[in-house]
Amino acid sequence: MAETPKTVKSNNLMSTAIPMAGLVAVAPGAVVSRTVISKKAGTVTLFAFDKGQGLSTHSAPYDAMVWILDGEVAITIDGKKLRAKSGDMVLMPANLPHALHASRPFKMALVMIKEK
């Protein structure tokens, strides 16, 4: 059996089985993102954060789901702090301030569903 590559570079992802964490790679001192679906109804974006990187406090007009693919992250939602690790899912309500901080490298999928 062939070994699965760590990073998948193809832009044609439809109708294939892919290890999601392999679609984005951690880069030193950076936050890397890759949009895999972008439609009027919502988006699916993959992120890779190096240690010490994050997203400062902000809010979004839509509910969002963060799915941790690899590693661990500190998330603050409306002042409430939590930790999420590989395999965990965090639902973030629309319009509430939230922030993320990587205490070590991690990868996540962000799914945003827009209202009609």
> Can you spell out the DSSP letters for 38-57?
EETTEEEEEEEE-TT-EEEE
**Where along the chain do its domains lie?**
24-113
Q: Give residue 17's pLDDT.
A: 82
Instruction: Return the pLDDT at 14.
Output: 75
Distance in angstroms (rounded) separating the CA atoms of residues 90 and 66: 5
Residue 8 has pLDDT above 60, yes or no: no
pLDDT of residue 20: 87
What does pTM read for this prediction? 0.85
CB 22 within 8 A of CB 7: yes
Q: Report the Cα 30 to chain-centroid distance in Å.
A: 14
The pLDDT value given to residue 1: 31
Mean pLDDT calculated for residue range 1-18: 57
CB within 8 A of 96, min separation 6: which ones? 59, 77, 78
115: pLDDT strictly greater than 80: no
Q: What CATH number does the domain located at 24-113 have?
A: 2.60.120.10
Phi, psi of 35, deg, nearest 5: -85, 125
Average pLDDT of span 84-112: 96
* DSSP SS3 for 17: coil
Asked if residue 96 lies in contact with residue 78, where contact means CB atoms within 8 angstroms, the answer is yes
Tens-place pLDDT, residues 26-76: 999 999 999 999 999 999 999 999 999 999 999 999 999 999 999 999 999
Determine the 3-state secondary structure of 3 from DSSP. coil
